[in-house]
Structure 1
Amino acid sequence: MPTTACVVLVLAAFVLGFAVGRRRRPALPEGGWKDDTTFTALHLAALAAPSLRAGLTRDSARKAVRHLRRLLGTHALAITSTDAALAWDGPCPDEVLTYARTTLASGRTHVFAAEPQGAVVVPLTVDGQVVGTLAAYHDELSAALVRTVTEVAGWVSGQLELAELASSRQRAMEAEMRALRAEISPHFVYNALTTIASFVRTDPERARELLLDFADFARYALRRAHDFTTLADELSCIDRYLLLERARFGDKLRFTVQVAPEVLAVPVPFLCLQPLVENAIKHGMGGRAGRGEVRVVAKDAGPEAHITVEDDGTGMDLEHARRVLDDDPRQTGNGIGLANVDVRMRQIYGEGYGLVVESAPGAGTRVRLRVPKTSLTSL
């Protein structure tokens, strides 16, 4: 019989983490560990985990099933979805799906005694829903084997839960990106096209140039983008945006862009700066008769790039700045862009990388963000 009892204990510790161990550490034998069973079990679980984190697919099951079979020490092992045998390792019988359907229908573990080998089939669950089964085949069925297969199936379900969480997070970020694109569209598109139309008769060449600038901006902002782009590409998008806004406001709008060459290739979240510039123009130019200025500065700060977007507008008090980042449109009117960028930065890099808004009534507004030079996501 395989070392199932040891595997049960090892997997239980692996799933629960080290919290229990911190409170009560078991004493090591005087001579250290007598064999490498513990290491082998943990190593095999670690080999299977990355594939399972991709979700329950044929490819992930195929990559994980061999390691799981070695972990259990059974003659054969199969992983199924709710309607198909995804992968198996070892001589599995033709009844794989028949056994699986019984477990899928009841949502409970079933033991099937047969010759030359019986089966222990355990449901795999995600968020309380049965999504597949783990079926172990062996010539000797015992209570210890059933417990071990159940523990391993529970661990596999935990990895699939993590995969679902990662997928949900990705879907949420994609939804935020779609919301951000939708936010760019209504007001800016209308204002830009109206401005271009005003030049069609008086200055056709200028209208043509602005239309090309608008096309370049739209191509970038509305493309099917990756999560990341380079700071150089993001600044190029902002350049097109500012040219269109300058055509709208004329000499009333002044803007400067200062960028250290060292940070141009730094990966940044897609469309993380345009909402900040749009917000700066809105507050810098809104309701004022004179000129307004917007400045974009990107500096090299060792392991990070530090970027600021500021205006010399009317500013805001601290409470209003909080509401902007809390994303309450009833209070702020149009703060979704800043809140969207703030949430995305914290989701990607951690809580310490949210936007920092510095402002005071009559003193303009400065928005700061930090971007690590080495991104967790490749371009």
Structure 2
Amino acid sequence: MWLRRRRIAHGFLSEADQLTHEALRSGFQAGRHLRSGLTADTAEKAARHLRLVLGGSALAVCDGQEVLTWTGHGEHHRDQALGHARQTLESGDTAVLGRRDLPCARPDCDVRAGVVAPLVVEDRVIGTLTAYSDRPSPGLARALEQVASWVSDQLELGELDRERTRAVEAELRSLRAQISPHFIYNSLAAIASFVRTDPERARELLLEFADFTRYALRRGGAFTTLADELRNIERYLVLEQARFGDRLQVNLLVAPEVLTVVLPYLAVQPLVENAVRHGLADKVGTGTVTITATDLGDQAEISVEDDGAGSDPEDVRRALDGEDAVDGAGTNESVGLGNVDARLRRVYGDDHGLVVETAPGLGTKVTFRVPKYAPGVHPG
């Protein structure tokens, strides 16, 4: 009896599987570049991978003004590519090119036909993808339309990422502007009060103030470590205790395992500022602020609690919804509460927003959880 052994030339993958794997890998590499936007540099890097997916003689990428890149054979046709793209840029429709569109005196040239497909972002044609071949091919036309649609999706996702980044930067600028002018004025006044009676204390407080404002107004990345955030909160509390003395008590309960957790920059400090303001406002005697960071396995839980005046839950709801909640002094009642909540939800999802427990006369506790590791989240 003869047994026929199946020949496996490339490990456990069939030839079709290998081709599929290569196409997916090339597509992934192209998408990584396209997420940065449609430029000459990203188009050149992505086009090499896209041509591997499509096959054909050559591939050109154009925006509305120029040919961003040409890869493959027939480089002498590059100057014609923008003209080939013009109709598609204007109409948004796929166009088929024939020999009449590609005049050439070189008998060995294999750029004799082509297909032009639009690249669309937010319903606007921002460029074209043109695949060239040695003869007309319905299969190439269908494949190019699919690839152009996928490229458009990558470009649109990249634009959404940039819009998100711009929104976060705008929110951070807004949050910095909300750092209470009263706090700055009162801190400087407290420092001034020690200049004659205790110059060394005044000098230490002035250094703490400089370090606090340097961190709070920094122009770094959107993320920081919990350790750095707590370090700056400590500076803030030293300055507030210089004002309030024994009236302000602080409890800090932090698990060492969560100090390296990365979270949005200025995610905790505004909650502490809010707690100090409301923990001592209209309160006779001592006010206590408790900051807790707990290890929950794959997550860290951070809470800021005060035993002060508390708030109407409806006012808190409006603050979290981004509506103005204004107190009698004309300042935001909950400093940055809605801002912090929105940034946490944007980065980690709606399950990671702020949870606020409060009632008039019963103090306030604000809690949130962040994963210890999250894609794209790293200190700036």
TM-score normalised to the size of structure 1? 0.84
Aligned match of 1:110: 95
Q: Which residue of 1 aligns with 2:307?
A: 312
Look up the match of 2:265: 270
* CA distance, structure 2, for counterparts of residue 151 and residue 231 of structure 1: 44
Distance 1:118 1:182 in 2: 59
Task: Report the Cα offset of residue 216 of structure 1.
Answer: 0.5
Contact 1:304 1:373 (8 Å CA) reproduced: yes
Counterpart code for 1:157: S
Query: Number of residue pairs matched?
Result: 347
Provide the identity percentage: 54
Offset, 1:34: 9.8
Structure 2 match to 1:249 = 244
3-state SS in 2 of match to 1:195: helix
Measured on the aligned residues, the alpha-carbon RMSD in Å equals 2.3
Counterparts of residues 109-258 of structure 1 (less than 5 Å): 109-113=94-98, 114=102, 115=104, 116=109, 117-184=112-179, 186-258=181-253
Task: State the 1:131 CA deviation.
Answer: 1.7
CA contact (8 A) 2:190 2:242 kept: yes
Report the equivalent of 1:90. 72
- Cα displacement (A) at 1:317: 3.6
Deviation string, structure 1 residues 58-112 (Cα, Å, up to 9, x no partner): 3322232122212222110011222232223202413223333454345443333
User: Given the superposition, is the C-alpha separation of residues 90 and 222 from structure 1 closer, same or farther in structure 2, using an over 3 Å criterion?
Assistant: same
Large movers: runs of 4+ above 6 Å = none
Aligned partner of 2:275 in structure 1 is 280
CA distance in 1, matches of 2:21, 2:212: 55
Q: Is the 8 A contact 1:297 1:309 kept in 2?
A: yes
Partner of 1:100: 85
1:172, CA displacement in angstroms?
A: 0.7
Q: Runs of 5+ in structure 2 lacking a partner?
A: 1-13
1:366 aligns with: 365
* Counterpart in the other structure of 1:80: 62
Which residue in the other structure is 1:303 paired with? 298
CA distance in 2, matches of 1:155, 1:370: 35
Change (3 A) 1:250 1:77: same
Counterpart contact for 1:327–1:336, Cα < 8 Å: no
SS state at 2:84 partner: helix
Report the Cα distance in structure 2 between the residues aligned to 1:340 and 1:257, rounded to whole angstroms.
24
Q: Which residue of 2 aligns with 1:321?
A: 316
* Structure 2 residue 370 is the aligned partner of structure 1 residue 375: no
Gaps of 5+ in 1: 1-32
- SS for the counterpart of 1:289 is coil
With normalisation by structure 2, the TM-score equals 0.84
What is the CA–CA distance in structure 2 between the aligned matches of 1:302 and 1:68, rounded to whole Å?
42
